[in-house]
A and B are shown apart, each in its own frame.
Chain A
Amino acid sequence: MRRFGVEFVPQELYWRTAFYVMQAEKRGFDFAWITDHFNNRNAYVFLGFLAAYTDRIRLGLGVTNPYLIHPAVAAQSIATLNEMAPGRVVLGMGAGDKTTLDMVGVRQEAPLRAVKEAVEIIRRFIARDPSGFEGKIFVKREGSRFNFKVRERIPIYIGAQGPKMLALAGRIGDGVLINASHPEDIRRALVNVERGVRRGGRSLSDLDIAAYTSFSVAKKEKDARGAVIPVVAFIAAGCPPRILERHEIPLDAAEKIREALVKRDWGKALSSVTPEMIEAFSICGTPETCVEKVEALFKLGITQFVAGSPLGPKVRESIDLLGSEVLPSLREGD
């Protein structure tokens, strides 16, 4: 079954993002993913608010990391959220954003191990399992457990982009949030997820495979592209060389954007974004174009499409367009 998610970065006033999440619920989205960076509004607190104002949509951290939020606290937080929104809570766990972690002096040490151990500890706490766990990074002492029951299962998705994290997601995740928008990147990611699935003795159908895209839709192509440029600038600037080469984007073109962003020269950074970068790192355009591009991802094997930031030039209108023109066509293909 095809699932549809929407991602929000809680950088606006909390009630504005809440309005959009409620709108997304009304327009038929199944998941709302809230990003977790220390310099935005706190995602866990915000999800608690959303739990009280929504009824059906599933609420997820998209994604948290074990460096700033200890696995025991992540487990406790989602277990509490689950009391507020029973059966609607999902946890996205990833290695965090190196740049943001650097800002507060936190080292992104052994990311694969950190994520793997965090997931293990969170699952034990959620299951109220009193057994101990001696990881190399995280420890859960024998006898430690919550003083309250978690009645529903809380799926854990792994946020991944690199081959090893994708394979880990295939091995241990209930789902994977693939940070990519282009079919070729998704195709390659799926190969790695499948590698992990096999290693874990599982089947691909055990996982919800989500393409976590940079997305922008508008009635006019030009407006949709204009809105996505700032997001693409950041993606291109932080993109590993092998992915730039895959999309035939000159390394110096991305470097030029990176330098401009470091100097906070927004004009230069944004004007250096090329059509090739937009094509590689986003899904954008009219509803018809977006349907075609997302359909191609479903055909590759994803089971959830996540419309990520910026959504469009005017968020409310874009959510309406998604609900009225994009999602219905994509559901037909299910």
Chain B
Amino acid sequence: MKSRADLREIVGRVPSELYGDLSMDLMDLLLAAKKGDRLPSASVKKLLQLWRRDELDTPDGVTLLLEAALSVDPEGTGRLLASKGLSEVAGKLGLEVS
């Protein structure tokens, strides 16, 4: 698992115009993930705080969403990134993208 600083650096490679769609797609993944109960409560609180402030589509928001998505559904996260044309980002995260 990458550190949050590493993830933040990787998120920096994502074009900022993709943040809006990507953040909601990652959120949808979290809302549907079978292992959603594994999400630590500290992450949940931080996510909801960012959601409350409409900041999920910021670099901090996308980083946190990505971290959460990786913890509950790494394969799904890889597929999602690939579908957004972000295979290189998935690769940096060590995700296999078919």
Question: Which residues of A pack against B, CB within 8 Å?
Answer: 13, 15-16, 18-19, 22-23, 26, 53-55, 314-316
Contacts and interface: CB of A to CB of B under 8 A. Distances in A.
B13 interface: no
B31 A16 contact: yes
Given A15-B39, A55-B52, A316-B27, 20 more contacts: A13-B36, A13-B37, A15-B44, A15-B48, A16-B31, A16-B36, A19-B27, A19-B48, A19-B51, A22-B48, A22-B52, A23-B51, A26-B54, A53-B48, A53-B49, A54-B52, A314-B28, A316-B24, A316-B28, A316-B31
B47 interface: yes
A18 B48 contact: yes
Contact of B52 (A16, A53, A315): A53
A13 B52 CA distance: 18
Contacts of B36: 13, 16
Contacts of A53: 48-49, 52
Q: Considering the complex of A and B, which 4 residue pairs feature the smallest CB-CB distances, nearest first?
A: A15-B44, A13-B36, A53-B48, A16-B31
19 contacts: A13-B36, A13-B37, A15-B39, A15-B47, A15-B48, A16-B31, A16-B36, A18-B48, A19-B31, A19-B48, A19-B51, A22-B52, A26-B54, A53-B48, A53-B52, A55-B52, A316-B24, A316-B27, A316-B28
Interface centre among A16, A26, A53, A316 (most CB of B within 10 A): A16
B24 to A, nearest CB: 8
A22 B44 CA distance: 14
A58 to B, nearest CB: 17
Most buried by B among A18, A19, A23, A54: A19
Interface residues of B, number: 15
Contacts, number: 31
Q: What DSSP secondary structure best describes chain B's contact surface? A: helix
Nearest to A26: B54
Contacts of B28: 314, 316
A18 B36 CA distance: 14
A314 B31 CA distance: 10
Interface string B36-80: 110100001001110110100000000000000000000000000
A23 B24 CA distance: 12
A132 B16 CA distance: 64
B3 to A, nearest CB: 23
A315 B39 CA distance: 20
Nearest to B30: A16
Given A13-B36, A15-B39, A22 B27 contact: no
A23 B48 CA distance: 11
Nearest to A14: B44
Nearest to A315: B31
Contacts of A55: 52
Contact of B51 (A13, A22, A314, A315): A22
A53 B44 CA distance: 12
A53 B53 CA distance: 10
A219 to B, nearest CB: 16
Nearest to B31: A16
B47 to A, nearest CB: 7
A54 B48 CA distance: 10
A316 B36 CA distance: 16
Contacts of B27: 19, 316
Contacts of A19: 27, 31, 47-48, 51
B35 to A, nearest CB: 10
Contacts of B24: 316
B12 to A, nearest CB: 26
A208 B78 CA distance: 49
Contacts of A316: 24, 27-28, 31
Nearest to B24: A316
